[in-house]
Amino acid sequence: MQVTKLYLNALVGAALILPAALAEEGPVIQTMDEVKFRPPKEKAAAELVEGKAGKAVKFSFEKDARNALFMGNSNATPEWDKADGFSFWVKGDGSANCGGLQFIWNEDYAARYDYCFPISGTDWQKVVVRWSDVIPALPKESCKFLDAANGNAPSKLGALWIGKWWYWKSYEAHSYAIDEMRLEPSIPADTADYKPAGAPLERVLAKLKAGQPVTIVTMGDSLTDYAHWANKPGNWPTMLKKALEEKYKSAVTIVNPAIGGTELRQNLILMPRWLQQTPEPDLVTVCFGFNDWNSGMRGAMFEETHKFGVDRIRRLTKGKADVLLMTTSPAVEHWDTFAELAEAARKAAQDKNAGLADVNKAMQEAGKEDKAKLFVDDKVHLGQPGHEVVAKTVLAAIEAGGK
């Protein structure tokens, strides 16, 4: 079977679904012929169903099944370090929801590694996962990226849990069956160089100048999340949309997957959710920091994670999306606290030739005389003046081509 490079590039993504012939099969690590996973206390159930080969386990989650995880074991061995990753068969319920896997590394329950996969297919599909796409969910020192040579060894992945952890936010009723998990000795990698040769945002700017429609995905936490109470009167993504449409006469679509209370790594894990509906946006903005800092994220790790994030966004959108990093906004009582996070984003943007909206610097300037005016009463979340500063900063970055 001949497979073109373009076809492989299109397949290598958040959920790499390949015809079985494309992957060299390794040893089975979970047959799924028995239900060996301990269910959550409520709102979820597991049952045996007909599988791809023999039996399979169907996992069903009721509406509002929060933090619902079926607990089992990965059966990891030293052979895992020699493999490129693993695979499993999945049969979904046809919905736009996603399923989730979570591994615990080296019996350290702070070292959790998550993987998110679509369940829109109602026939059996093989999902092939590189270790690099199983992402640490927390910014702990022990949570290095999976890499037998330079990071955390896959052979130390212990517990395997199936379901959704607390940060998913969306808890609609859904179900999916999983069959035959196995190691994959060799998985094709997307080796394309998606780094722009010119200005990092020149493509989206060109479309705006031509009056063409653009789609912008705004990844973020509560400073971006439409659902947060502080953003209900107005918010920077909506302000940005209005400014762009008024100036360029383009139809601007904002896709906002931001989730209050979450961190950068968690939202990188959840990218497959918005990719199902928006596989090739023109621009993806990345705005995080406050929650990351509170969880232990510091400069060097933040820079590394931003670089990983830029690469992941470019790869999963097949190079179609420009990427704009936004430096962490200060808060009234943390006016200088996040300086190293801001600098980390600047360094990552420069290294990866991504766009940069220096929100930290703009907020510092706007709040020189009166910090509190930029925030609501909690002195953390943006008030309308703060949202205006952020929107203007992002607009300026786009109009400068991201430089």
Give residue 3's pLDDT: 33
Tens-place pLDDT, residues 55-78: 999 999 999 998 899 999 998 999
Taking 90 as the threshold, does the pLDDT of residue 23 lie above it? no
Helix ranges (H only) for 133-188 are none
**Contact 172/63 with Cβ under 8 angstroms?**
yes
Give residue 13's pLDDT: 44
CATH topology of domain 202-399: Rossmann fold (3.40.50)
Taking 50 as the threshold, does the pLDDT of residue 2 lie above it? no
Using DSSP's 3-state secondary structure scheme, residue 170 falls into coil
How long, in residues, is the chain? 403
Outline which parts of the chain fall under CATH 2.60.120.430. 5-184
Tens-place pLDDT, residues 318-352: 999 999 999 999 999 999 999 999 999 999 999 99
Taking 80 as the threshold, does the pLDDT of residue 16 lie above it? no
Taking 70 as the threshold, does the pLDDT of residue 44 lie above it? yes
Give residue 170's pLDDT: 85
Give residue 63's pLDDT: 95
Outline which parts of the chain fall under CATH 3.40.50.1110. 202-399
On average, the pLDDT of the chain sits at: 93
Q: Return contacts of 395-398, CB within 8 angstroms, 24+ apart.
A: 395/240, 395/243, 395/244, 396/357, 397/201, 397/324, 397/355, 397/356, 397/357, 397/358, 398/201, 398/204, 398/205, 398/208, 398/244, 398/283, 398/324, 398/355
10-14, 109-113, 137-141, 376-380: the lowest-pLDDT one: 10-14
- How confident is the model over 354-371, as a mean pLDDT? 97
> What is the distance between the alpha carbons of residues 137 and 341, in angstroms, rounded to a whole number?
18
Tens-place pLDDT, residues 157-183: 999 999 999 999 989 999 999 999 999
Using DSSP's 3-state secondary structure scheme, residue 286 falls into strand
Under CATH, which architecture does the 5-184 domain have? Sandwich (2.60)
Give residue 402's pLDDT: 62
Give residue 401's pLDDT: 86
Tens-place pLDDT, residues 227-263: 999 999 999 999 999 999 999 999 999 999 999 999 9
